[in-house]
Structure 1
Amino acid sequence: MANIHSLDPSASPLDYFGWELRRQREANGLKQGQLGDLIFCTGSLIGQIETTKKIPTRDFAERVDAALATDGVFSRLVGLVLRSQLPTWFQPYAEMEARAAYISTYQAQLVYGLLQTEEYARALLGVDHPGKVDEMVAARLDRQRILEGEHAPALWIVLSEAALLQEVGGQDVMRRQLARLLDFRDNPWVQIQVMPFSAGQHTGMMGSFTLLRLDDDPDLFYVESYDQGHMTANPTVIKERSVGYARLQATALSPEDSAVLIARVMEERYGARR
């Protein structure tokens, strides 16, 4: 565990958060336990966040701002902290995703990160990153905040039927994950289509990819492998993949029929009636 007196606030957003939390707490003449009482947590948690052993949540940051009257300093900083927990190679994409006006994605195997439940994300990330799962789950859930508010992007997802059948985290986790997909049926800005196995060969069989449309910048194409991502604004690539995505939309089930299939898989494979 880091020693708070040797913490370098310039080392990372997390180090700066811990350093600034300690500075503000002491400036208000509070011990860790006293601040914990004010924001309904333990003094031990305050100490763990001050020494970077724990990652702060948005709720924690907002409570600290209210208790210490820091004018939203920690609420603004926590977004940087959470984003810094994403893999370094993924962070440029996450920044552009947050700015996108329109997101079109084909997912060949998994539910897209913006629609994952916490349990589903935890099961996935725990496979390769068991020591950082809490931090990475918190970062992934924080990405989902872009779907909230008046500036939420339009999101169109074509999801392979394989993603419905590939069990992640057990039957209960899958049942709740599919239920979350169905919860978006009435959201005009989120459209989900399922590509059924019966469609046969199609243009998405080379793997998952995403297209981002931005208001003030060129469109972007993004694809990733096991440990790296590739993003390009090459006009030829954008044109080819945009046409390919339109063909995927035309081949997949309609959003209405997709919802029927998702509900049927919930009932027949994961034991749920909806």
Structure 2
Amino acid sequence: MSARPRDLTPDRSARHLFGAEMRRLREAAGMSLDALGDVLKYGRSSLHRFETAQTMVPPDLPTKLDTAFGTDGLFGKLYELARKEVHPDRYRRRMESEAQARVINEYAGHTVPGLMQTRGYARALLRVGHPHATSDEVEGLVAARLGQVQLQQH
């Protein structure tokens, strides 16, 4: 007996919408994750994590999905939105609060708070925190962190 599919929340973020559309079209085509994996050259567990928005979609997948489902760039457009959402959902509430705050008091005995980090310091912390990330992925996280600082200063 197979497990019940995890409920999706396409209204939560672009990454969630990407996954929900991926599952919707896969199921409409009558394909299992294994069958789609054979077509796309991805493993079943990876595809499951993309559908449930547990993992960010790799850059080559949207084109493969658009080709497999004949969706004329839908997944490419969703990917462009999703990749701009560089902060995981669990940090959004804090970021929204920080953006509205007049004063932020934070004790950080071993690290410099995000708003005060330099590019090099942020890179070093993010590299340690994401040991399996590629250099491009780390640079994307650094850019996101520094981009948030710039938004806070204006």
Task: Determine the structure 2 residue equivalent to 1:43.
Answer: 44
* Cα deviation digits, residues 102-121 of structure 1 (max 9, x gap): xxxxxx9536xxxxxxxx95
RMSD over aligned Cα, in angstroms?
3.7
Q: Contact 1:18/1:52 (CA < 8 Å) preserved in 2?
A: yes
Q: Contact 2:127/2:138 (CA < 8 Å) preserved in 1?
A: no
Task: Determine the structure 1 residue equivalent to 2:140.
Answer: 140
Q: CA deviation at 1:85?
A: 2.0
Q: 1:5 to 1:38 in 2, by over 3 A?
A: same
- TM-score, length of structure 1 as denominator length: 0.36
Gaps of 5+ in 2: 97-116
Whole-Å Cα distance in 1 between the matches of residues 15 and 24 of structure 2?
14
Task: Determine the structure 1 residue equivalent to 2:103.
Answer: none
Task: Determine the structure 2 residue equivalent to 1:77.
Answer: 78
Whole-Å Cα distance in 1 between the matches of residues 27 and 148 of structure 2?
46
Whole-Å Cα distance in 2 between the matches of residues 12 and 229 of structure 1?
22
More helix by share: 2
Q: CA deviation at 1:124?
A: 3.8
Q: Contact 2:14/2:85 (CA < 8 Å) preserved in 1?
A: yes
Radius of gyration: which is bigger?
1
- TM-score, length of structure 2 as denominator length: 0.61
Q: 1:26 to 1:55 in 2, by over 3 A?
A: same
* Cα deviation digits, residues 213-235 of structure 1 (max 9, x gap): xxxxxxxxx8938xx7222xxxx
More strand by share: 1
Q: Contact 1:4/1:19 (CA < 8 Å) preserved in 2?
A: no
Secondary structure of the structure 1 residue equivalent to 2:10:
coil
Which residue of 119, 123, 127 corresponds with 1:110?
Answer: 119
Q: Contact 1:125/1:137 (CA < 8 Å) preserved in 2?
A: no
Whole-Å Cα distance in 2 between the matches of residues 229 and 79 of structure 1?
24
Q: Contact 2:10/2:17 (CA < 8 Å) preserved in 1?
A: yes
Structure 1 segment 1-274 matched on structure 2, within 5 A:
4-86=5-87, 110=119, 121=123, 123-127=124-128, 130=130, 137=137, 140=140, 224=149, 229-231=152-154
Gaps of 5+ in 1: 91-107, 112-119, 144-208, 210-221, 232-274
Q: Contact 1:9/1:19 (CA < 8 Å) preserved in 2?
A: yes
Aligned residues: 120
Q: Contact 2:18/2:51 (CA < 8 Å) preserved in 1?
A: yes
Q: CA deviation at 1:130?
A: 4.7
Q: What percentage of residue pairs aligned between the two structures are identical?
A: 27
